[in-house]
Each structure stands twice: as C-alpha cells, then as structure tokens.
Structure 1
Amino acid sequence: MGRGRAKAKQQKVARELKYSTHFADLDALQRELGVSKPDSSGAGPEPDAVDDEYEDWTGTDR
C-alpha cells in the first residue's frame, strides 16, 4: 500500500517531460562543457591521406 501516490507523481512528471517544450541553450552548454565549434574547413582528413594510412595493411598500391 502507499504506492498509488508515488506512481501518480511519477506519471505527472513523465507527462510534463513528454508534452512540454523545453528550450535548450546549446551555445551555453557548449561553453560549459568547453567544446569548441568545428571549423568550417571540412569534415576530417582528406580521403587520400586515409587511404595511404592503410596501404601497409592491404599490400596494394594505387
């Protein structure tokens, strides 16, 4: 006995989380975590550099 009140409160909190719209300040979160913004120069190394890294394993040359 006594579980009904706790369960009702959990359901209320779950409904609030599900149906309410929360605003997240992502810039503030990045500053807090110390994450730098990605540079706009591109995404990752050049494909040729990645291929050269694995040439030793495959034994093939291009």
Structure 2
Amino acid sequence: MGRGRAKAKQIKVARKLKYYSPDTDLNRLQQELGADASKSGPSDPYDDEPDYSDYADKYNVDDDDEDED
C-alpha cells in the first residue's frame, strides 16, 4: 500500500516526457555531431563495393551441363 502517490508521479513524468517537444537547434546539433555541411554522402551506396560481375563470368559453371554426357 501507499504506492498511489509514487505511481501518480511516474504517470505525470511519463506524460510530460511523451508530450513535451523542445525547440531543437538543428544547426547546433549538426556541429556537435561533427557533420560537414558541404560534404554529401555517396550517391550510390554500392560505389565502394568491388565489381563481382567479372568473377561471375569467369567462375560461373552450370553443373547440369557437365552431367549430360
């Protein structure tokens, strides 16, 4: 017993956190995160990946063709 006041306080704090929307300074956040505004990310996320199509052509062996003798 006696948990009513503590529970009410927790509910009050939870509601305040849920519905409170502070003014966010996005420029300041960008500075804190160290983001460079002039640098944009790569246009294609797979630019850093090697091209495996050469290997696919070189090593692509169809197992069904070898067994049809």
**TM value normalised by structure 1:** 0.54
- When residues 24 and 51 of structure 1 are mapped into structure 2, their CA distance, relative to the original with a 3 A threshold, is closer
- Aligned twin of 1:29: 29
**Runs of 4+ off more than 6 Å:** none
**TM value normalised by structure 2:** 0.51
1:11-41 Cα deviation digits (max 9, x unpaired): 111111222332111211222232323625x
**What residue ranges of structure 1 are gaps of 5+ in the alignment?**
none
How many percent identity over aligned positions? 47
User: Over aligned residue pairs, what C-alpha RMSD do you find?
Assistant: 3.5
- Aligned twin of 1:18: 18
**What residue ranges of structure 2 are gaps of 5+ in the alignment?**
59-69
Larger Rg, first or second structure (1 or 2): 2
CA shift, 1:56, in A, is 6.3
- How many residues in Structure 1 have an aligned counterpart in Structure 2? 58
| SS of alignment partner, residue 32 of structure 2 | helix
Where relative contact order (Cα < 8 A, 6+ residues apart) is larger, the structure is: 1
- Aligned twin of 1:44: 42
